[in-house]
Amino acid sequence: MNNYTNENTARRYKAHVSIFGTTQLHLRNPYIIAWWSAAFPGFGHMLLSKYLRGYALFIWEVIVNVNSHLNSSMVYSFQGNIDMAKEVLDTRWLLMYIPVYIFGIWDSYRTTVDMNRVYLLSEREDHHFNSYAIGALEINYLDKRNPLLAVMWSLFIPGLGQLYIHRIMTAIFVIVWLVVFHYYSHLAESIFLLIIGNVKEATSVLKPEWLLFMPSLYGFATYDSYVNTIENNKLFEKELRKHLAENYQSEGFQILKGQKVK
């Protein structure tokens, strides 16, 4: 006898509000998601709220990239020192890097296409979802936020924009790795030396193999906070419109399409 019971009251939900954040389905451009996976494996999946897969690919990228000296090789190639770029590469790690890197791009593209289809079906079903969550640790609810404020805080410190819109899982992950990249790249130390006018030492203390991770992290945090602020605002408006129509709109109210008001 099968003891499994499906507690869902709908086949597909388009959103879920929990104390850890608001997760929702919405239309995404699969090429943009694939581009973020190419920029840094894991980012494309995190944009899709596929957190476990995204975290795994992100951590894999950092470990394999550092051990293969890929970023160091890129720095030498930017400087035109091709021989040194080849010499520093560790092929034992590099050959393992390529297949997973390609998989991350392909899987994020494939998943985006599938999730877009699921979104269209969930929109047609238009079932109710929870719009408010309260627990011992947090409170989360749908409301409208300013996307420009989300961008501003993300540019100050990646992760703050996610905290502003209550994407707790992504915020914690981004902030932790920001600290790691700052520490191992010696960026803060270099900035301090630059401020006091010691330019040569400021350049020498930098670790480029860790520093090259920073632009991708800043870019992702800014883009993710901006897009999700806009989509959360849309979700809030849709949920409020549905609530008002069901509870306050007259049953006899009709909008006659194609007819002009005389």
CA-angle at 172, arms to 171 and 178, nearest 5°: 90
Q: What is the pTM of this model?
A: 0.87
Q: Are 109 and 48 in contact (CB under 8 A)?
A: no
24: helix, strand or coil: strand
Q: Which domain holds residue 98?
A: 15-236
Residue 133 domain-assigned? yes
Give the pLDDT band (50/70/90) at residue 181: very high
pLDDT digit string, tens, across residues 16-35: 888 998 889 899 999 999 99
Residue 2 domain-assigned? no
What 208-211 contacts at long range (C-beta under 8 Å, 24+ apart), as own/partner pairs, is: 208/71, 208/72, 208/75, 209/65, 209/66, 209/69, 209/71, 209/72, 209/75, 210/66, 210/71, 210/181, 210/184, 210/185, 211/181, 211/185, 211/187
Give the pLDDT band (50/70/90) at residue 154: very high
> 254 pLDDT exceeds 80?
no
Residue 76 domain-assigned? yes
Residue 196 domain-assigned? yes
Residue 250 domain-assigned? no
Count of structural domains within the chain: 1
pLDDT digit string, tens, across residues 209-223: 899 999 999 999 999
Predicted local distance difference test score (pLDDT) of residue 224: 96
Residue 130 domain-assigned? yes
Tokens 């929990």, residue? Answer: 18
Predicted local distance difference test score (pLDDT) of residue 1: 45
Residue 39 domain-assigned? yes
